[in-house]
Structure 1
Amino acid sequence: MESNDAEKVGNKEIIHQLISFAIKHRKIMQHYLDKTGVYHAQHRLLMEIARNPNVSQNDIARSMDVSAATIAVSLKKLENKGYIRRETDEGDNRLNKIIITEKGNNVVEQSKQIFKQTNQKVFEGFTYDEKCTLFVLLQKLDNNLNKMEEEIKSKKERT
Protein backbone atom coordinates (compact mmCIF):
# COMPACT_ATOMS: atom_id res chain seq x y z
CA MET A 1 0.00 0.00 0.00
CA GLU A 2 1.37 3.41 -0.90
CA SER A 3 1.81 5.97 1.88
CA ASN A 4 -0.93 8.21 0.43
CA ASP A 5 -3.40 5.33 0.66
CA ALA A 6 -2.31 4.48 4.21
CA GLU A 7 -2.98 8.05 5.33
CA LYS A 8 -6.56 7.79 4.07
CA VAL A 9 -7.35 4.57 5.90
CA GLY A 10 -9.17 5.21 9.14
CA ASN A 11 -11.37 3.16 11.42
CA LYS A 12 -14.48 4.03 9.43
CA GLU A 13 -12.95 2.80 6.16
CA ILE A 14 -11.76 -0.45 7.72
CA ILE A 15 -15.18 -1.15 9.27
CA HIS A 16 -16.83 -0.35 5.93
CA GLN A 17 -14.48 -2.81 4.18
CA LEU A 18 -15.22 -5.56 6.72
CA ILE A 19 -18.99 -5.06 6.36
CA SER A 20 -18.74 -4.94 2.58
CA PHE A 21 -16.75 -8.20 2.60
CA ALA A 22 -19.32 -9.91 4.86
CA ILE A 23 -22.24 -8.82 2.65
CA LYS A 24 -20.54 -9.93 -0.58
CA HIS A 25 -19.48 -13.23 0.97
CA ARG A 26 -23.01 -13.95 2.16
CA LYS A 27 -24.53 -13.14 -1.26
CA ILE A 28 -22.03 -15.35 -3.07
CA MET A 29 -22.51 -18.21 -0.60
CA GLN A 30 -26.28 -17.89 -0.89
CA HIS A 31 -26.05 -18.04 -4.70
CA TYR A 32 -24.18 -21.34 -4.56
CA LEU A 33 -26.17 -22.77 -1.63
CA ASP A 34 -29.49 -22.03 -3.38
CA LYS A 35 -28.55 -24.78 -5.81
CA THR A 36 -28.87 -27.31 -2.96
CA GLY A 37 -32.62 -26.61 -2.77
CA VAL A 38 -32.48 -25.56 0.89
CA TYR A 39 -33.04 -22.01 2.13
CA HIS A 40 -30.39 -20.19 4.21
CA ALA A 41 -31.98 -20.73 7.64
CA GLN A 42 -32.82 -24.35 6.81
CA HIS A 43 -29.28 -24.88 5.56
CA ARG A 44 -27.83 -23.64 8.86
CA LEU A 45 -30.19 -25.96 10.67
CA LEU A 46 -29.22 -28.99 8.57
CA MET A 47 -25.53 -28.31 9.19
CA GLU A 48 -26.21 -28.11 12.94
CA ILE A 49 -28.11 -31.41 12.90
CA ALA A 50 -25.33 -33.08 10.90
CA ARG A 51 -22.77 -31.91 13.50
CA ASN A 52 -24.93 -33.16 16.39
CA PRO A 53 -26.67 -36.45 15.53
CA ASN A 54 -29.89 -37.23 17.44
CA VAL A 55 -30.04 -33.68 18.80
CA SER A 56 -33.28 -32.41 20.34
CA GLN A 57 -35.27 -29.44 19.10
CA ASN A 58 -34.55 -27.51 22.33
CA ASP A 59 -30.82 -28.20 22.08
CA ILE A 60 -30.80 -26.87 18.51
CA ALA A 61 -32.66 -23.73 19.58
CA ARG A 62 -30.14 -23.11 22.38
CA SER A 63 -27.07 -23.72 20.22
CA MET A 64 -28.36 -21.50 17.40
CA ASP A 65 -29.65 -18.85 19.84
CA VAL A 66 -33.19 -18.78 18.40
CA SER A 67 -36.59 -19.67 19.79
CA ALA A 68 -37.84 -23.25 19.86
CA ALA A 69 -40.88 -22.08 17.86
CA THR A 70 -38.66 -20.78 15.06
CA ILE A 71 -36.79 -24.08 14.98
CA ALA A 72 -40.08 -26.02 14.95
CA VAL A 73 -41.26 -24.24 11.79
CA SER A 74 -38.00 -24.89 9.95
CA LEU A 75 -37.83 -28.51 11.12
CA LYS A 76 -41.37 -29.12 9.86
CA LYS A 77 -40.37 -27.85 6.40
CA LEU A 78 -37.19 -29.95 6.37
CA GLU A 79 -39.18 -32.99 7.49
CA ASN A 80 -41.86 -32.48 4.82
CA LYS A 81 -39.15 -32.31 2.15
CA GLY A 82 -37.43 -35.47 3.44
CA TYR A 83 -34.20 -33.91 4.74
CA ILE A 84 -34.77 -35.00 8.35
CA ARG A 85 -36.99 -37.30 10.38
CA ARG A 86 -37.99 -37.27 14.03
CA GLU A 87 -37.92 -40.16 16.44
CA THR A 88 -39.38 -40.20 19.92
CA ASP A 89 -36.70 -40.49 22.59
CA GLU A 90 -37.00 -43.88 24.30
CA GLY A 91 -36.04 -42.38 27.67
CA ASP A 92 -38.47 -39.45 27.46
CA ASN A 93 -41.54 -39.64 25.22
CA ARG A 94 -41.84 -35.84 25.32
CA LEU A 95 -38.55 -35.45 23.43
CA ASN A 96 -37.99 -35.94 19.73
CA LYS A 97 -34.55 -36.76 18.38
CA ILE A 98 -33.87 -35.06 15.08
CA ILE A 99 -32.20 -37.39 12.58
CA ILE A 100 -30.76 -36.32 9.25
CA THR A 101 -31.75 -38.49 6.28
CA GLU A 102 -29.61 -39.55 3.34
CA LYS A 103 -31.16 -36.71 1.32
CA GLY A 104 -30.19 -34.28 4.09
CA ASN A 105 -26.67 -35.69 4.27
CA ASN A 106 -26.31 -35.20 0.51
CA VAL A 107 -27.11 -31.49 0.94
CA VAL A 108 -24.61 -31.23 3.81
CA GLU A 109 -21.86 -32.85 1.72
CA GLN A 110 -22.70 -30.64 -1.25
CA SER A 111 -22.57 -27.61 1.06
CA LYS A 112 -19.20 -28.59 2.50
CA GLN A 113 -17.78 -28.67 -1.04
CA ILE A 114 -19.27 -25.24 -1.74
CA PHE A 115 -17.66 -23.86 1.44
CA LYS A 116 -14.30 -25.42 0.58
CA GLN A 117 -14.26 -24.12 -3.00
CA THR A 118 -15.44 -20.65 -1.99
CA ASN A 119 -12.87 -20.40 0.80
CA GLN A 120 -10.10 -21.38 -1.63
CA LYS A 121 -11.18 -18.66 -4.07
CA VAL A 122 -11.51 -16.02 -1.34
CA PHE A 123 -7.92 -16.60 -0.22
CA GLU A 124 -6.43 -16.96 -3.71
CA GLY A 125 -3.10 -15.14 -3.88
CA PHE A 126 -2.64 -14.99 -0.09
CA THR A 127 0.53 -16.32 1.43
CA TYR A 128 0.45 -18.38 4.61
CA ASP A 129 1.99 -15.46 6.53
CA GLU A 130 -0.63 -13.04 5.20
CA LYS A 131 -3.41 -15.36 6.34
CA CYS A 132 -1.81 -15.71 9.77
CA THR A 133 -1.49 -11.94 10.11
CA LEU A 134 -5.08 -11.40 9.03
CA PHE A 135 -6.25 -14.05 11.50
CA VAL A 136 -4.43 -12.40 14.40
CA LEU A 137 -5.80 -8.98 13.48
CA LEU A 138 -9.36 -10.29 13.21
CA GLN A 139 -8.97 -11.99 16.59
CA LYS A 140 -8.01 -8.62 18.09
CA LEU A 141 -11.11 -7.03 16.58
CA ASP A 142 -13.26 -9.88 17.88
CA ASN A 143 -11.78 -9.56 21.38
CA ASN A 144 -12.60 -5.85 21.41
CA LEU A 145 -16.18 -6.59 20.33
CA ASN A 146 -16.44 -9.27 23.04
CA LYS A 147 -15.40 -6.70 25.66
CA MET A 148 -18.05 -4.31 24.35
CA GLU A 149 -20.70 -7.05 24.51
CA GLU A 150 -19.74 -7.79 28.11
CA GLU A 151 -20.00 -4.09 29.01
CA ILE A 152 -23.48 -3.91 27.48
CA LYS A 153 -24.54 -7.10 29.25
CA SER A 154 -23.29 -5.91 32.64
CA LYS A 155 -25.05 -2.53 32.21
CA LYS A 156 -28.32 -4.31 31.42
CA GLU A 157 -27.96 -6.51 34.48
CA ARG A 158 -27.48 -3.45 36.72
CA THR A 159 -30.66 -1.77 35.47
Structure 2
Amino acid sequence: MNESILKKFFMIQRLQFKILHKELEKHGIHPGQPPMLMIVAKHEGVTQKRIAEELNVKPATVAIMLRRMERAGLIRREQDENDKRLQRVYLTEKGKLYCDFLKEHLKSVETVIVKGFTDAEKNQLESFLRRIIANLENRLRGEAND
Protein backbone atom coordinates (compact mmCIF):
# COMPACT_ATOMS: atom_id res chain seq x y z
CA MET A 1 0.00 0.00 0.00
CA ASN A 2 1.37 3.38 -1.02
CA GLU A 3 -1.00 5.42 1.14
CA SER A 4 -2.22 4.61 4.60
CA ILE A 5 -5.83 3.56 5.15
CA LEU A 6 -6.29 6.52 7.46
CA LYS A 7 -5.15 8.90 4.71
CA LYS A 8 -7.69 7.34 2.33
CA PHE A 9 -10.45 7.84 4.91
CA PHE A 10 -9.39 11.47 5.25
CA MET A 11 -9.48 11.93 1.47
CA ILE A 12 -12.94 10.36 1.23
CA GLN A 13 -14.23 12.57 4.02
CA ARG A 14 -12.71 15.70 2.49
CA LEU A 15 -14.13 14.98 -0.97
CA GLN A 16 -17.56 14.17 0.43
CA PHE A 17 -17.47 17.40 2.47
CA LYS A 18 -16.54 19.43 -0.63
CA ILE A 19 -19.42 17.94 -2.61
CA LEU A 20 -21.85 18.56 0.25
CA HIS A 21 -20.54 22.08 0.93
CA LYS A 22 -20.89 23.03 -2.73
CA GLU A 23 -24.55 21.98 -2.67
CA LEU A 24 -25.27 23.52 0.73
CA GLU A 25 -23.82 26.85 -0.37
CA LYS A 26 -26.41 27.03 -3.15
CA HIS A 27 -29.14 26.78 -0.53
CA GLY A 28 -27.63 29.10 2.08
CA ILE A 29 -26.86 26.34 4.57
CA HIS A 30 -23.72 26.82 6.69
CA PRO A 31 -21.44 23.72 6.61
CA GLY A 32 -21.67 23.19 10.39
CA GLN A 33 -25.47 23.12 10.40
CA PRO A 34 -26.30 19.69 8.88
CA PRO A 35 -25.09 17.59 11.84
CA MET A 36 -26.98 19.87 14.23
CA LEU A 37 -30.13 19.75 12.10
CA MET A 38 -29.98 15.97 12.01
CA ILE A 39 -29.62 15.73 15.80
CA VAL A 40 -32.60 18.04 16.34
CA ALA A 41 -34.63 16.07 13.75
CA LYS A 42 -33.83 12.81 15.53
CA HIS A 43 -34.42 14.23 19.04
CA GLU A 44 -37.05 16.98 18.82
CA GLY A 45 -36.87 19.03 22.00
CA VAL A 46 -33.19 18.27 22.55
CA THR A 47 -31.21 20.56 24.84
CA GLN A 48 -28.22 22.63 23.80
CA LYS A 49 -26.06 20.62 26.21
CA ARG A 50 -27.06 17.33 24.57
CA ILE A 51 -26.31 18.72 21.10
CA ALA A 52 -22.85 19.78 22.32
CA GLU A 53 -22.25 16.29 23.76
CA GLU A 54 -23.39 14.57 20.56
CA LEU A 55 -21.14 16.77 18.41
CA ASN A 56 -18.29 16.80 20.92
CA VAL A 57 -18.09 20.59 20.87
CA LYS A 58 -18.41 23.30 23.50
CA PRO A 59 -21.90 24.51 24.45
CA ALA A 60 -20.86 28.06 23.48
CA THR A 61 -20.18 26.85 19.92
CA VAL A 62 -23.63 25.27 19.82
CA ALA A 63 -25.19 28.49 21.13
CA ILE A 64 -23.66 30.49 18.28
CA MET A 65 -24.81 27.96 15.68
CA LEU A 66 -28.32 27.79 17.15
CA ARG A 67 -28.61 31.58 17.06
CA ARG A 68 -27.62 31.56 13.40
CA MET A 69 -30.05 28.72 12.64
CA GLU A 70 -32.85 30.47 14.54
CA ARG A 71 -32.28 33.68 12.53
CA ALA A 72 -32.39 31.59 9.34
CA GLY A 73 -35.74 30.14 10.44
CA LEU A 74 -34.47 26.55 10.70
CA ILE A 75 -35.07 25.98 14.41
CA ARG A 76 -37.02 27.44 17.30
CA ARG A 77 -36.11 27.35 20.97
CA GLU A 78 -38.54 27.06 23.84
CA GLN A 79 -37.94 27.23 27.56
CA ASP A 80 -38.43 23.89 29.32
CA GLU A 81 -41.68 23.89 31.30
CA ASN A 82 -40.17 22.07 34.28
CA ASP A 83 -36.68 23.57 34.32
CA LYS A 84 -36.62 27.21 33.25
CA ARG A 85 -32.81 27.07 32.88
CA LEU A 86 -33.12 24.74 29.89
CA GLN A 87 -34.06 25.60 26.36
CA ARG A 88 -35.44 22.88 24.12
CA VAL A 89 -34.67 22.98 20.39
CA TYR A 90 -37.21 22.10 17.69
CA LEU A 91 -37.15 22.19 13.90
CA THR A 92 -39.36 24.65 12.08
CA GLU A 93 -41.13 23.63 8.88
CA LYS A 94 -38.25 25.19 6.96
CA GLY A 95 -35.79 23.18 9.08
CA LYS A 96 -37.70 19.98 8.30
CA LEU A 97 -37.55 20.77 4.58
CA TYR A 98 -33.78 21.34 4.86
CA CYS A 99 -33.41 18.00 6.66
CA ASP A 100 -35.33 16.24 3.90
CA PHE A 101 -33.10 17.96 1.33
CA LEU A 102 -29.97 16.90 3.27
CA LYS A 103 -31.11 13.29 3.52
CA GLU A 104 -31.78 13.17 -0.22
CA HIS A 105 -28.45 14.81 -1.03
CA LEU A 106 -26.56 12.44 1.27
CA LYS A 107 -28.34 9.51 -0.36
CA SER A 108 -27.22 10.74 -3.79
CA VAL A 109 -23.61 11.15 -2.57
CA GLU A 110 -23.73 7.59 -1.20
CA THR A 111 -24.92 6.41 -4.60
CA VAL A 112 -21.88 8.09 -6.17
CA ILE A 113 -19.58 6.54 -3.55
CA VAL A 114 -20.68 2.97 -4.29
CA LYS A 115 -21.10 3.38 -8.04
CA GLY A 116 -19.86 0.26 -9.81
CA PHE A 117 -19.89 -1.87 -6.65
CA THR A 118 -21.82 -5.14 -6.68
CA ASP A 119 -24.32 -5.79 -3.90
CA ALA A 120 -21.87 -8.27 -2.39
CA GLU A 121 -19.10 -5.63 -2.43
CA LYS A 122 -21.42 -3.06 -0.82
CA ASN A 123 -22.29 -5.56 1.92
CA GLN A 124 -18.63 -6.39 2.43
CA LEU A 125 -17.69 -2.71 2.62
CA GLU A 126 -20.44 -2.06 5.14
CA SER A 127 -19.21 -4.99 7.21
CA PHE A 128 -15.64 -3.68 7.14
CA LEU A 129 -16.78 -0.20 8.13
CA ARG A 130 -18.85 -1.57 11.05
CA ARG A 131 -15.75 -3.46 12.25
CA ILE A 132 -13.61 -0.30 11.99
CA ILE A 133 -16.20 1.64 14.00
CA ALA A 134 -16.32 -1.13 16.63
CA ASN A 135 -12.51 -1.19 16.84
CA LEU A 136 -12.39 2.58 17.34
CA GLU A 137 -15.19 2.53 19.92
CA ASN A 138 -13.43 -0.27 21.81
CA ARG A 139 -10.19 1.72 21.75
CA LEU A 140 -11.96 4.81 23.03
CA ARG A 141 -13.61 2.84 25.84
CA GLY A 142 -10.28 1.23 26.68
CA GLU A 143 -8.58 4.60 26.98
CA ALA A 144 -11.42 5.91 29.15
CA ASN A 145 -10.96 2.95 31.51
CA ASP A 146 -7.16 3.30 31.82
Task: Flag whether TM exceeds 0.5 (same fold).
Answer: yes
Say which is worse superposed, 47-56 or 33-42, in terms of deviation.
Answer: 33-42
Spell out, residue by residue over 1:38-84, the C-alpha distance to the aligned partner (whole angstroms, 9 max, x if none).
11112221121111111111121122221111111111111112111
**Mapping 1:38-49, distance limit 5 Å:** 38-49=29-40
Amino acid across the alignment from 2:113: V
CA-CA distance at 1:132 after TM superposition: 1.4
Alignment correspondent of 1:6: none
- The alignment-based identity, stated in percent, is 31
**Higher radius of gyration, 1 or 2:** 1
Relative to structure 1, is the Cα distance of residues 140 and 99 closer, same or farther in structure 2, using a 3 angstrom cutoff? closer
Q: Equivalent residue for 2:80?
A: 89
Q: Flag structure 1 segments of 5+ consecutive residues without an equivalent.
A: 1-8
Distance 1:82 1:154, change over 3 A: same
User: So what's the TM-score if we normalise by structure 2?
Assistant: 0.86
Find the aligned partners of 1:146 and 1:87 in 2 and give their Cα distance.
34
SS of the aligned residue for 2:32 comes to helix
Instruction: Provide the C-alpha distance between the structure 1 equivalents of 2:22 and 2:35, rounded to a whole number of angstroms.
Output: 15
Matches within 5 A, 1:94-109: 94-109=85-100
The equivalent of 2:26 in structure 1 is: 35
Describe how 1:79-158 pairs up with structure 2 within 5 A.
79-155=70-146
1:53 alignment partner, one of 44, 51, 59: 44
TM-score, length basis structure 1: 0.80
User: C-alpha offsets along residues 15-43 of structure 1, whole Å, 9 cap, x if unaligned?
Assistant: 33332222211211221222231111122
Question: Matched residue pairs, number?
Answer: 146
CA 1:69–1:131 in structure 2 vs 1: closer, same or farther (change >3 Å)?
same
Q: Which runs of 5+ in 2 are unaligned?
A: none
Following TM superposition, by how much is the alpha carbon of 1:141 offset from its aligned partner in structure 2, in angstroms?
3.1
